[in-house]
Amino acid sequence: MFFLQMSITLKVLNFDYSDSLKEILDVSNLQNVEEFSFEGCSNLVSVHSSVGFLPKLKILNAKRCPKLRSFPPDINLTSLETLGLSGCSSLEKFPEIPEKMENLEVLDLSDNGIKDLPCSFCNLSRLQRLYLRVNEMYRIPSVIGMMPRLYACDIELRGNKGRVSGEQEEGLHGILTHSLPSSHLENLYVRNSNLSYDFFPVAVAWFPNLKVLYLRGSNFTVLPECIQQFRFLYALDVDDCEHLREIRGIPPNLKSFSAVNCKSLSPRCTSVLLNQELHQGRSTEFAMPGGSIPRWFERRSSGASISFWFRGTEFSDSAFCLAILLKDDIPSPLLVYPTVTINGNQVEYGWRSNVDQLFIFRMNTRCYDYKALHFERGWNHVKLSYEACNYHGEEVPSESIAKEIGMHVWKQESSNIMEDIRFTDPYRKRKRDDEALNSIAQVMEGEGQRWCLSKVKLFLVSVLHFSVAQYYSYQ
């Protein structure tokens, strides 16, 4: 009687990492269970269908069960908030969802054998983020276009094993003809998926409100003109698309573009991305192949750093755009940390960036913290440089990879900004006068005329300060 009563009131069941567990039996009498976990059960093969009908279940965790083949064919878990099925490499079918389940917001189905998603998947009506990395799917599941709240989806299609099948393209066209566009999807990550040219017109119709699009490792050769129809897209990543040869269109609000290791993309093809008007008035960050820094970068310096002086107690980094050009034979890939040093003090910099030969960015995209710095009332010296490392975290000396660095000042940010910027040392004349004064003093001391040295110094100092004051009054 006690055991029966305990079973009825039981709320948590945990069999994590039980190597001897091969089967989850009937649990229909455990109607109060809220958490059921059997993660990492390396020999688990089947889960009883009753697990799919526990009304109070909030967490169902079956992660990393590599032999799991039989899962409840239908689930109606109205209280479910977390479902873990990643790492179940033998699981080939996702269960039907006959009724709406409104509490599940994140679902990770990565690293398993699931080949498609059922139409009833759209009954996960409040699902916001979906992960489908490293799976056996050969096409983008069409039901994704019918998910009412989904705003982020991460997919890696591996089912076609390196080829674009007719079924895949047919499936994409089926999405276009049988689904309504998703008005919420904003972030789409499709990795190593051998997408064809036909993907783009379908994606434009299916995901009109995309803001972030990652297409790393795909086989398409052209970014077509229709990509301009992504009116809200601000980030586009085509890293490792080694067959990409041509760029015919650019989304109108693009701010971040990455084409690292796009070996077939020539500098001539990237010229459309280097237009000054594209970068003007927005905080851009572009990484791509390239043989030279665009001409509109007025200030250039060989090597890995460039310097200037600014006047004032605040540093307006939004006015500065930087271009880093690396040598032709750089090791790839590289991570770069742009750094800012003001009056000898290095500013705490933001994040690192994956770069190719040419890296263009506006400085206010880096989240530098200037609050701890002390600015002189006069002129402040600024040095812009960068540090680099490989993907293993090993430091790469910037001078060994640097070819040139360039800087552009956006004058429209402030109409008089150039009055407060100098590219030559504004204190140079004063330094020369100080050196001359010291030389005269040394000569006089050498000749034994120390009796009048103090008076001469006072006279020369007063003349010098008067000259400097007159010089700066005309600046």
Whole-angstrom Cα Rg for the chain? 32
Q: Tell which residue, 310, 320, 324, has the closest CA to residue 385.
A: 324
Taking the C-alpha atoms of residue 458 and residue 379, their distance in angstroms, rounded to an integer, is 26
Q: Could you tell me whether strands 256-258 and 353-355 are parallel, antiparallel, or unpaired per DSSP bridges? A: unpaired
Cβ neighbours of residue 118 closer than 8 Å, sequence gap 6 or more? 94, 95, 96, 97, 143
Domain ranges for the chain: 1-127, 300-422, 434-473
pLDDT by 10s per residue, the chain, length 475: 333 344 567 899 999 999 999 999 999 999 999 999 999 999 999 999 999 999 999 999 999 999 999 999 999 999 999 999 999 999 999 999 999 999 999 999 999 999 899 999 999 999 999 999 888 887 788 888 788 889 899 988 776 543 333 444 444 444 444 444 556 899 999 988 778 778 888 888 888 899 999 999 888 899 999 999 999 999 999 999 999 999 999 999 999 999 988 888 877 778 888 888 888 878 889 998 888 899 999 899 999 999 999 887 777 777 888 999 998 877 667 888 888 888 888 886 666 678 888 899 887 766 666 766 777 778 889 898 888 888 788 888 888 888 999 999 887 655 677 788 888 888 775 555 555 556 655 655 655 555 455 555 555 556 555 554 554 444 4
CATH pick for 1-127 out of 3.40.50.720, 3.80.10.10, 2.40.240.20, 1.10.10.60: 3.80.10.10
Q: In the numeric block, which tokens belong to residue 319?
A: 């006015």
Given CATH 2.60.290, say whether it is the number of domain 300-422. Answer: yes
Bond preceding residue 333 cis, omega within 30 of 0: yes
Cβ neighbours of residue 156 closer than 8 Å, sequence gap 6 or more? 110, 132, 133, 134, 135, 190, 191, 192, 193
What's the pTM? 0.80
